[in-house]
Amino acid sequence: MPMGHDAPLTKEMILDAAEQVLRRFGPEKTSVVDIAKALQVSHGTVYRHFPSKAALREAVTERWLVGCISAPLEKIVSEGKGSATERLRLWLDTLRKSKRDYFTRDTEMFAMYAAETQESVETVKAHVNHLIQQIATIVEQGIQSNEFKPGQPEVIAKAIFMATSRFHHPAHANQWLAEDEEETFQAVWELLLRGLV
Amino acid sequence: MPMGHDAPLTKEMILDAAEQVLRRFGPEKTSVVDIAKALQVSHGTVYRHFPSKAALREAVTERWLVGCISAPLEKIVSEGKGSATERLRLWLDTLRKSKRDYFTRDTEMFAMYAAETQESVETVKAHVNHLIQQIATIVEQGIQSNEFKPGQPEVIAKAIFMATSRFHHPAHANQWLAEDEEETFQAVWELLLRGLV
């Protein structure tokens, strides 16, 4: 979608174009000039909004993490349907399903996110903290209703997130399609639940 | 250590040379010819023992996994000192420590092992099953002595191994040097223990 030079250029418009171009060319081959071309502006104009290609990549990944991963999970936490156990299981299943779906269907974006995770960029760290906070809310509700044993919700939430890394950290993506994946997750889930309930 | 053409060439000698050459040149740049040269034999002689460079790499990794990772852990299981909880903790700490040490001090070998893990070669799968079997022995002893809750030792062992992936799977190596790593592991350990004891 090229646009005229005189249209007001917002960060959101740059991210839309960047996402499209990054998907088409891949993170390595995409340059800021390519993104500027898609917007029909000079690369200087893009640089006024984002200081580097790395910053652009990070912003595109962040928008994706928030919109496609965190937001649907946040809904599960805030709607508060069912028991804390049911909510925690739905939360983990939803996280796993969306990661798996993006891994198989949105390869370019997933590869970019996997690379940013490996480089441990700030936005990914913030995303992880945000997810742990969501689990902590579920755990706290479970403790308050006496469904879960007493404990520090944030410490337990971090433990749950870390103990399930194998099922949502992008470095393990290849293993998610294994035949016995559900069975493996079920074994971990049951062990964790025995510690919680 | 070049050797004469007439010395009997054993698999072990080829693996010794292969390990040295792989360490020096790295897995990508090493060829079977390089390994044959180090042994002062023709590459055909090496091929008679190992059908491909991949088979050689796999055999070197396997020998390393057994000798440097599994064997010290096996000792903890067979000596049977302390409670099952203490033994399980020592087993996990030993696994984590050896992985971390090799990651920081034996970079070439660790990189080769990480690559073989990513490609999910048979020897790495067998290694993982062997480690899970070791945990299962500890869990079974813990159940029999009424220290652990009843359950299926092999399923619980697999769950413990998977739930601690973040702390021993090579894809997470960069995270092992984080300042709060011990604290993160402690949180997971306490949650798992609440499920076991």
Does any domain span residue A5?
no
Listed in sequence order, the DSSP H helices in B106-180 are: 107-118, 122-144, 153-163, 165-168
Q: Does A100 touch chain B (CB under 8 A)?
A: no
Q: Given an 8 Å threshold on Cβ–Cβ distance, is A194 in contact with B191?
A: no
Domain extent, residue B41, equals 11-49
Shared domain for A29 and A64, answered yes or no, is: no
> Is the residue at A157 inside a domain?
yes
Residues B39 and B64 in one domain: no
Distance from the B178 Cα atom to the nearest Cα atom in chain A, whole angstroms: 11
Write down the pLDDT at residue B87. 98
SS3 B121: coil
A29 with A97, same domain: the answer is no
The CATH number linked to A19 is 1.10.10
CA pair distance B23, B125, nearest whole angstrom: 23
Give residue-wise pLDDT tens across range A149-193: 999 999 999 999 999 999 999 999 999 999 999 999 999 999 999
Same domain, A94 and A173: yes
B128 falls within a domain: yes
Residue in the structure block whose two tokens are 């993490």: A65
Work out how many domains chain A is built from and give that number. 2
B4 belongs to a structural domain: no
- CATH code: domain of residue B114: 1.10.357.10
Same domain membership, residue A88 and residue A22:
no
Q: How many CB pairs under 8 A join A and B?
A: 83
Distance CA B91, CA A48 (A): 54
Give which of B162, B172, B192 to mutate to test A binding, by max A Cβ within 10 Å: B162
Q: Is the domain of A33 the same as that of A125? A: no
Domain membership flag for residue B3: no
Over its length of 197 residues, how does chain A's per-residue pLDDT go in tens digits? 445 555 688 999 999 999 999 989 988 899 999 999 999 999 999 999 999 999 999 999 999 999 999 999 999 999 989 999 999 999 999 999 999 999 999 988 999 999 999 887 889 999 999 999 999 999 999 999 999 999 999 999 999 999 999 999 999 999 999 999 999 999 999 999 999 99
In this prediction, residue B7 carries a pLDDT of 64
Q: What is the CATH number of the domain that holds B24?
A: 1.10.10.60
* Residues B99 and B171 placed together within one structural domain of the fold: yes
pLDDT in 10s for each residue of chain B, 197 residues: 445 555 688 999 999 999 999 989 988 899 999 999 999 999 999 999 999 999 999 999 999 999 999 999 999 999 989 999 999 999 999 999 999 999 999 988 999 999 999 887 889 999 999 999 999 999 999 999 999 999 999 999 999 999 999 999 999 999 999 999 999 999 999 999 999 99
Question: A149 and A69 in one domain?
Answer: yes
Q: How far apart are CA A91 and CA A84, in angstroms?
A: 10
pLDDT at B34: 95
Q: Cβ B184–A149 below 8 Å, yes or no?
A: no
Q: What percent of chain A has pLDDT over 70?
A: 96
Task: Verify that A44 and A60 share a domain, yes or no.
Answer: no
Q: What is the ipTM of this complex?
A: 0.91
- Considering the domain boundaries, does residue A148 fall inside one? yes
Instruction: Report the number of secondary-structure helices (H) and strands (E) in chain A.
Output: 11, 0
Question: How far apart (Å, rounded) are the C-alpha atoms in residues A144 and B182?
Answer: 28
Same domain, B43 and B89: no
CB–CB contact A192 B190 (8 Å): no
Secondary structure (3-state) at B115: helix
Do A104 and A166 share a domain, yes or no?
Answer: yes
Same domain? For A33 and A84 the reply is no
Q: Is B149 left (phi over 0), alpha (psi -120 to 50) or beta?
A: beta
| Residue B129 touches chain A, beta carbons under 8 Å | no
